[in-house]
Amino acid sequence: MADGTTVEPPKYFRRSQDKLAKLQQKASARKKGSRARKLLYRKVAKLHQKIARQRKQFHFELSKQLLTKYDAVFVEDLTVKNMVRRNKPKQDEDGNYLPNGQSAKSGLAKSILDCGWSQFLDILSLKAERAGLKVIKINPRGTSQVCFNCLNLVDKQLSDRWHCCYHCGVMMPRDWNSALLLKKLGLDETLSIKRSTASRKRSQHHIA
Ligand SMILES: [Zn+2]
């Protein structure tokens, strides 16, 4: 968030997820077609439902907290669908499957699904509307790559967790920079990271 804090899912949610992982392991270790395995998988399904309920509850609680504290909330309008799309399978001439980068992608896709960002946005928007408050969705393109302070481009890989601006010297965690940039873009509608001609003159590296 723009004040530098991060929001962690509640402990009960974590605990359920740990429990789920253990239960799934236990179930898959049982003999296929056995009654024990069937019963365990029934438990797994129930726990999945419980986790979905807990996630929703957390989204309601967080929405309430944010809207009590702030009059307007700026959020990234992530198109979750695009980010969780699976890579196409690759095959060689003999029909064997080749690495397609899916395993590397899975971790990210999974965490996005786990967070249920789009559900959270729906709940937050609905609650804000009822309270007469604002949720402003902002196109996140480039928000991780642009410095909130000077609006210059600072290239990062997904693994780079820090934003170190070599234009103005700002140093902070990556997500904090993105949050501050979102706030800046949201507060000033005339400002756009694409249209900032002043910084383009200063730097060749600029977002197009
Ligand atoms: Zn900067």
Structure confidence by residue, pLDDT tens digits, 96-148: 655 555 554 444 444 544 567 788 888 999 999 999 998 888 877 778 899 99
Q: 199 C-alpha to center of ligand 1: Å?
A: 10
Assess whether 85 and 121 both reside in one domain: yes
Q: Give distance in angstroms: CA of 112 to centre of ligand 1.
A: 28
Local confidence band at 154 (pLDDT 50, 70, 90 cut-offs): very high
- Please report the pLDDT score of residue 9 as a whole number: 77
Distance 103 CA to ligand 1 centre (A): 34
Q: For position 79, what pLDDT does the model report?
A: 58
Residue 4 lies in a domain: no
Task: Assess whether 130 and 152 both reside in one domain.
Answer: no
> Quick one: 168 and 202 in the same domain?
yes
Mean per-residue pLDDT over the chain, rounded: 79
Domain's final residue, options 117, 138, 159: 138
Supply the DSSP string of 23-36, one letter for each residue. HHHHHHHSPTT-HH
Domain boundary among 120, 138, 156: 138
In a domain, 106, yes or no: yes
The reply to whether 58 and 106 lie within a common domain is no
Distance from the alpha carbon of residue 200 to the mean position of ligand 1, in angstroms: 13
Does residue 52 fall inside a structural domain? yes
Check whether residue 63 and residue 80 sit in a common domain: no
Calculate how far, in angstroms, residue 186's C-alpha sits from the geometric centre of ligand 1: 18
pLDDT tens, position by position, 74-87: 888 765 445 545 55
Spacing, Cα 141 to ligand 1 middle (Å): 17
2 assigned to some structural domain = no
Q: Helix 11-29 to helix 35-69 angle, to the nearest 10 degrees?
A: 160
Total domains in the fold of the chain: 3
Enter the pTM of the model. 0.68
Residue 168 lies in a domain: yes
Range of the domain at 126: 70-138
Q: How far is the CA of 59 from the centre of ligand 1 (A)?
A: 33
Strand 171-173 and strand 97-98: the pairing is unpaired
Same domain for 42 and 105, yes or no, is no
Q: Are residues 52 and 84 in the same domain?
A: no
75/7 Cα distance (integer angstroms): 14
Query: Are residue 74 and residue 130 in the same domain, yes or no?
Result: yes
Q: Examine residue 13 and state whether it is found in any structural domain, yes or no.
A: yes
Q: Which residue has the tokens 């029934």?
A: 42
Give the residue from 115, 138, 161 where a domain finishes: 138
What would the mean pLDDT of 166-188 be, rounded to a whole number? Answer: 89
**Cα 73 to averaged position of ligand 1 atoms, centre (Å):** 24
